[in-house]
Amino acid sequence: MKDFPTSERSKRRKYRISLLLFIYGLCLLPGMMLTADLESTSPMAIKNIRVFDGETVIPEVTVLIQDGVISAVGRDVILPYGTDVIDGTGKTLLPGFFDCHVHVWHADNLKQAAVFGVTTVVDMFMGVKTMTGIKKMQADGRATDRAWLISPGTLATAPGGHGTQYGLPIPTLTNPGDAEHWVSDRIVEDSDFIKIIWDDGSTYKMNSPTLDRETVAAIIHEAHSRKKMVIIHAASLRQCMQAMEDGVDGLAHLYFENAFHPEFGRLAAEKGTFVIPTLAVLEGMHGVGDPLSLTEDPELSSFLTPDDRQMINMHSPLATQTGAYQTAEKTLMQLAAAGVPILAGTDAPNPGTTYGASLHRELELLVKAGLSPVDALRATTSVPARIFGLLDRGVIQVGKAADLVLVEGDPTSDIKQTRHIVEVWRSGIRIDRAKYKAAAAKAVEALEKQKDASPPENSETGWISHFEGEKITSEFGAGWSISTDSMIGGKSKASFERMEGGAESGTGALSITGEINEGAQNRWAGAFFSPGAVMMQPANLSSKKGLSFLARGDGKTYSVMIFAQSLGYIPAEIKFTAGPEWKEHVFDWSDFGVEGFDIMGIFIGGSSELGPFSLTLDEVRLLNKQ
C-alpha cells in the first residue's frame, strides 16, 4: 500500500498536490497579487549545461524544451528553427523543486513558492474551498505561473485538537467507527491523500485533545482500503513508532522531543515509511534557528517581503526540550543509513519559515545533518515525485514536464548554490521573478514609508479613553470593538459596556465580561482598540513609548495583545493578572518586539483561563517618551 499515483501522463493538466495562529498567511500586502505569465512557449534550448537529472549529474549537454515538455537531452541535439537558445556554461539545470510540507492559505502562496524554484507543493492541510478553487485553475491550464498543488484538504483530528485553531471548518473524529465515513468524505472532496494529527501537546508543554491509537489505526486501514496514502503528524517518538507499526505511509515531521531509539530507522525501512524531517521548522521550535541564513542571503533577500522577514525572524511559541534538534539530526542520519526515503519539506508558513525561500534552508540543513548535496537534491526532486506518483516531473528526461530551475554554479557540490537562481520554468513557461522582486521591493518601501507616517489625529496627548462620557469613545482612531476566537472556530464570547464609577474618583470605566470556552487551541475574548482611521489600518504610534491602563477584575490572568504589520499579522502577547483593587499596568512597545510605527490593534481581555471572566478598564493611554 505504498504507491498511490495521483496523476497520469494523459492527465498532466489536472492539478493535485503553521500558525497563522490567528491569520497565518491570509493577509497579503498590496502589490503582491501577480497575474499569469503569458509569454510564448516557442522551442527553447539550454546548451552547454550541467544537468542534475534528479538522480545523477550529466555534464555539458543540451536540453530542448517544446510545448512544455522536455523533448531532447544530449550532446548532439538538433534544434528546430526559431529555437530560443540559452548558454548554460557554468550553470546547472535541475528539476523543479518539491516542498513536501506546506500549508497553503491563498493561491498566491504558490506563486511565491515558484519564484524560489519550488514548482510542486505538497500541502499538508488547507481549506477545502481554497483547494478546490486552485485545482480547478490547474485543470483549466490557468496556473502555470505558480507551483503545482497536491493536498489532503482538511485533516483528521479530535474535537478541539491541533488543526482546529485556524478558523477553518474541521470535521473531527471521536472513535474508530467514524473512520469509514470520514475517509469517504475526503475522497468526495478530491483529497490527494489523508493527513492525520496525533499530538496531545505534551512534547511542547501544552495540553491538547487528540485521537487515540485505535482511531488512528482505523483511519489508516480505511484509507488504504480506498487506495489513499496516509501521512501523519505524530509528535512523540512513541507515536511515530506506533503509527509506523500500524502501517502509516509517511511521517509529516520528525518527532518533537529529545528521544532516540536505535531501532527507529530499521522500523521505518521495514514498514516502507518515508519521512519529511522539516528541519527548517524544527530548528525554530527547538531554539537553534538562524534567520540570517535567509534574510541576509544576497540571492534571496531582495525577494523577501516584510511579512516574509517577520515570519523568518519569529520565534516559535512552543517550549520544546533541550537537545531535541541535535537528536533530530541524529535520527535523520539513522533513517538515511537504513535507506528510508527522505523528502524535503519546510512546514511554511510556521514561525521561522516562509514559502519558497525556506526550502533552500531545508536543503542546507539536510546537508549540515549529514546528507550529501546530491541526496538532498534527490529529496526535493525525484524522491517525492516517485512517492507521490507525480511521474511526469522530478527528473530531467525526455517526455517529462519542463518544470525546471537554472542556477549558477554547481549545487551538487555546494548545496547553497540552489539559491543562485537564474530562471525558473513551470511547464516550459518562465516564472516572472523580476516582477515578483519589484512587488516585494514595493512592499518593503511601503513599510518604510509607514515609519515616517504622521501620527493619528488627536493622538498627541496619548489618551485613548477615559470612559467619562455616556458612550464608549476614544480620543482617536476607529475606537473600541469586541474581538473573540469565533473567527477561528472558537466558542469564547464577550461583551462590554460603560459602567458608572471609575478609578481614581473617575465617573466611568469599561466593564468587559465574557466566557473563555473550549473550541479552539488559541482562545480569547475581550476589547479591541483600533488606532487607525479604520479597523486594522496601521497607525504610527512610534512617538509614544508604549501603553498604560488601570484594571481590576476577578483575580484571573488576562492578556494584552499587539497587532502590527511588522509582526506578520500575528499578535505579540503579554499576560497580566487583574485583582479586586485597581492597579496600573504599563507596557513598552519593546516588550512586544515592536517599534510602534505600524500598530493595527490593541487587544485587552481573557485568553488563558477557561470559564467566565469579569475585567474592568480605565484610563487607557499611550505613554510619552522621556
Positions of the chain with pLDDT lower than 50, given as ranges: 1-40
One-character DSSP codes across 211-242: --HHHHHHHHHHHHHTT--EEEEE-SHHHHHH
pLDDT of amino acid 30 = 32
First to last CA, the chain: 68
pLDDT of amino acid 252 = 98
Residue whose grid cell is 525561500: 357
Q: What is the mean pLDDT of the chain?
A: 91
DSSP assignment, residue 204? G
230 pairs with which residues across the strands? 194
Residue ranges per domain, the chain? 9-27+37-439, 463-624
Residue 469 CA to its chain's centroid (Å)? 45
For residues 70 and 88, give the distance between their C-alpha atoms in angstroms, rounded to a whole number.
16
Q: Which alpha helices (DSSP H) does 226-321 contain, by range?
A: 237-245, 264-271, 279-285, 292-295, 306-313
Residue 257, classified by CB atoms within 10 Å of its CB into exposed (0-12), middle (13-18) or buried (19+), is buried
Residue 141 CA to its chain's centroid (Å)? 26
For residues 531 and 478, give the distance between their C-alpha atoms in angstroms, rounded to a whole number.
6
599 pairs with which residues across the strands? 539, 564
Which CATH topology does 9-27+37-439 take? TIM Barrel (3.20.20)
Q: Which of 241, 280, 307, 336 is nearest to 105 (CA)?
A: 307
Name the grid cell of 389: 506518483
Which CATH topology does 463-624 take? Jelly Rolls (2.60.120)
Q: What is the pTM of this model?
A: 0.83
Distances (CA, A) of 247 to 251, 383, 385, 571: 11, 20, 21, 39
For residues 315 and 584, give the distance between their C-alpha atoms in angstroms, rounded to a whole number.
29
Enumerate helices (H) and strands (E) in the chain, giving the number of each: 14, 26
pLDDT of amino acid 569 = 66
Contacts of 184 (CB under 8 A, 6+ apart): 226
Where is 198: in which H helix or E strand?
strand 194-198
pLDDT of amino acid 41 = 65
